Structure 1
């Protein structure tokens, strides 16, 4: 089960990498489509003991962050390799992807968010009244994968990757 199934109002926006310096700073990686929202956020959330706990941001500079509650390297090391979440109320830019803008994903590799396996290459985006569908090609197989702001979990423009939460069994139906 994915954490966003338990907390559907929260989005995975990035992760912490490693501690930095002696004052409790951390290196972070934020998914491209959440950069603007994260820069505006006063706090973010971490999953600790089954609960999403807010951490207030003291300072943010590019890929370096300092939380109010992290004062030394030991505090920071406890936060290494953790997923960073934002509440849907904190997301500003991502929800503004219009249907016509999905066409920019043509040629991107579609990656299953949970398994991190490449499903295939998006050959075409087809617009339906309810949603956009990515026509994904892998070898001789063609898959139809729905795209919307809820199942797109990450975009890497530089490597032309789009990370999508694919419903269980969908790839079996499409093959």
Structure 2
């Protein structure tokens, strides 16, 4: 699903209380840099704008949000598990020397045993780690982007060198 001109910042994980408060888990690494007076919620593959009444950011990549015109848990439940986006023009500018896991999308992956695995098509963030997706031998292969497995990142050539656990790739190929 392509929402050109927008970037994903996270998703609503659950409701909190009876007054329609929602918990948002941030995919975006520095949520305190985001302008959050309005957000776009993906509903039925469309981005729907909502105004934020108030919010509080937490230290664990989450925040608690009250959305204008949503004042009851039953209304808020409809937004749980929905992805949240902001327009690209509200993406914080970062220094040239900053590099995030999401920047690896589009990099070619070279694995120590199997060689070239392909291009990173997607990077998903889970509570404990990032997961990269490539297509190798016409099969979708997913692997963790962990310091334990990454041997080298060549930003100039857009190449990621990894040494994955024995048998991980074979699971996807069988």
TM-score (norm 1): 0.61
Paired with 1:116 and 1:13, the residues of 2 have a C-alpha distance of: 24
Any conservation in 2 of the 1:102–1:132 contact (CA below 8 Å)? no
Q: Which runs of 5+ in 2 are unaligned?
A: 58-62, 104-128, 135-139, 168-172
Matched, 1:137 2:163: yes
Q: Which has the larger radius of gyration?
A: 2
- Superposed, 1:15-164 pairs within 5 Å as 15-38=11-34, 40-62=35-57, 63-93=63-93, 96=94, 98=96, 100-102=97-99, 111-112=131-132, 117-119=142-144, 121-128=149-156, 132-139=158-165
| Structure that is richer in helix per residue | 1
Take 1:53 and 1:64, find their aligned partners in 2: how far apart are those partners?
A: 19
Aligned residue pairs total 129
Q: CA RMSD in A?
A: 3.2
